[in-house]
Structures are given as C-alpha cells and as structure tokens.
Amino acid sequence: MAEGDITSDLGRQLAAGRVVLFTGAGFSVDAKAHDGSPIPSGPELADELWQICFPGERRDGSALSDLFQHALTEAPDELEALLRRRLTVDAARLPAFYRVWFALPWRRIYTLNVDDLASAAAARFDLPRPLVIRAALAGDPPPDEVPASSRLEVVHLNGHVRSGARGVTFSTTQYGARLATEKDPHYAALVHDFCEQPFVFVGTRLDESPLWQELERMAGANGEEPHLPRPRSLLVTPHIERARQSLLERLGVAWVPRSTRDFTGEVLLPIARSLGVA
C-alpha cells in the first residue's frame, strides 16, 4: 500500500472512530526513565536481569522469561527495584511526538508493555480525552464492549509496573498461568476487536502466546492458521522476519517499514492536523 493511500485510508478510519492501536516494546524505546536511560527493550532488560541473577558470570543465552523467573524467586526485592527504576517513565523527558499518538481518536489502545508510558503522556500533555488505564492481573475490568467517546481506554494486557513483579506477565510460570486460564477477558476483548476493527500495530512481532491462544479459541482452527474475514490493518516496525511478515499478511496485516518516530511525522501528524488534534 502506498504511503498516500495509508494516510488517506487511516485518516478516514480514525475519523470514524474505528481504529484500534496496539503497542509493543518498540513503541517505548524513545521514552526515558527518571535516571535518563531509555526504557529498555526485551533483550536489554534481560541483560540487566542477568546481573541480578548471576552477577559476575559470563552472559549466556538465557531467555528473559527464565531470568525473570529466577529473579522473582531468588532476588525479589532487587527485581522490584529494577522494574520500578527502569519501567517508570519520566514524563518531563517524554518526546513531543508521543502526544500525537495519544491525541488521535483511537477506538481504544492495547499494549503488551508494563511500563507507565500512557500515564506519563497524560501527565505531560494536554490530551483531547482523559486516559483510563486498565491492567490485566490487577483486578481491573476488561474494556467496555462499546467504548465511550469521551475517554480513551489503555488496556495493559500483561499487567502494569504499579502492580509489582508478581502482577505482570514476564516469567515462564506467569505465562504458563495465563495460558492455563479457561478464558482471559482482556485477551478475549482484544481478539474480538481484532476480528471486527482495523488495527495499527507498532513495535511488536505479534508473537504473544495468549493472543494466539484466544485466536484459536475463537476461530477453532485446530492448529491451522485462522481464516477470519477482517478489516485491513497495519504493522509499523523497522524490521520483521520474512516468514512472520507472510503469516501476518494472510491475517490482513500489512507491514509498514517505519520507526515509531518516522511513522508519526510522515503519516500520523498530517492526520492529526486534519482532525484538529495536532
């Protein structure tokens, strides 16, 4: 799809209040923590967890989920301090382009991230609608079936840093617990929206196991790719593996090879100006 077509089509869908935003770790990389360091990516957080788990030892290929599990068991206080230090966003340092993202009239926002970027944006910027933060695992209710136009829901699918290390989904056993539940209402709401509404995915490969579990539950595809008629969506990320790109294309998700910052300036900012929210 040509860039002009993306802008015009996405602008029409946003004006109609239909588009859902879905963010992954790549969305937060331009934000900074209170110590001035960037919010870490998954591999960067894994490196820092290694220092808590096995200080002084040579880094091996241990996965983030296993390192988080080890730290949760063996060094819970250090883990809690690390999460709050590295995943709490400094609102005063937040780049201005994030305002465009949170000012647009999304139907709602889902995020895989447990950082508090949305709360920092609400504190930093004058936004057209107040943000309502809903966090899975914290007792927060799932999103409203019909979202209110007067507010913007931000649904943290994997929990929120405010809930601490035991209130997020990071570790091997935490993912196991999510997959063992009969039905996860937050992921169920996500999949319902995915089948009905156009999405903009940013900063993610869409490899979350609970997402694919709920897709299978809804589609009943018996392990095959789900064939769901659904609106065209966009995946905004600089790089993606060819096989993953092909899989997502078959689900109606087109790859847009842009960084979050570049997509903001080239596509979202003109839309925001046309809608009067820039």
Q: Is residue 250 part of a domain?
A: yes
Contact assessment for residue 155 and residue 110, using Cβ atoms and an 8 Å cutoff:
yes
pLDDT-derived band of residue 4, with 50, 70 and 90 as boundaries?
low
* Amino acid, single-letter form, for residue 140: D
Percent of the chain with pLDDT over 90: 69
For the chain, the domain total comes to 2
Same domain, 60 and 134: no
Both tokens assigned to 19: 């588009």
pLDDT-derived band of residue 45, with 50, 70 and 90 as boundaries?
very high
205 vs 235: CA distance, rounded Å: 9
Residue 230: pLDDT over 80: no
Residue 57: pLDDT over 90: yes
Same domain, 80 and 201: no
Same domain, 143 and 251: yes
Same domain, 224 and 206: yes
Same domain, 114 and 78: no
230 vs 195: CA distance, rounded Å: 5
15 vs 10: CA distance, rounded Å: 8
Distant-in-sequence, close-in-space partners of 255: CB < 8 Å, separation ≥ 6 = 235, 237, 240, 245, 248, 249
Q: Is residue 37 part of a domain?
A: no
Here the CATH number for the domain that contains residue 140 is 3.40.50
191 vs 212: CA distance, rounded Å: 9
Q: Is residue 54 part of a domain?
A: yes
Distance set, CA 107 to CA 17, 79, 251 (Å): 5, 35, 20
Q: Is residue 216 part of a domain?
A: yes
Q: Is residue 175 part of a domain?
A: yes
Same domain, 230 and 253: yes
177 vs 173: CA distance, rounded Å: 6
Same domain, 22 and 61: no
110 vs 91: CA distance, rounded Å: 20
Q: What is the pLDDT of residues 87-118, one digit of tens each?
A: 999 999 999 999 999 999 999 999 999 999 99
Last residue of a domain, one of 86, 115, 150: 86
Same domain, 194 and 56: no
Same domain, 70 and 115: no
pLDDT-derived band of residue 209, with 50, 70 and 90 as boundaries?
confident
Q: Is residue 143 part of a domain?
A: yes
Task: Assign 263 to helix, strand or coil.
Answer: helix
Residue 62: which region, alpha, beta or left (left: phi > 0; alpha: psi -120 to 50)?
Answer: beta
Average pLDDT over all residues of the chain: 90
Same domain, 27 and 81: no
The pLDDT assigned to 1 comes to: 54
Task: Assign 39 to helix, strand or coil.
Answer: coil
Q: Is residue 102 part of a domain?
A: yes
Owner of token pair 């508090």 = 116
Same domain, 118 and 61: no
Q: Is residue 231 part of a domain?
A: yes
Structural domain range at position 28: 3-32+93-274
Same domain, 50 and 132: no
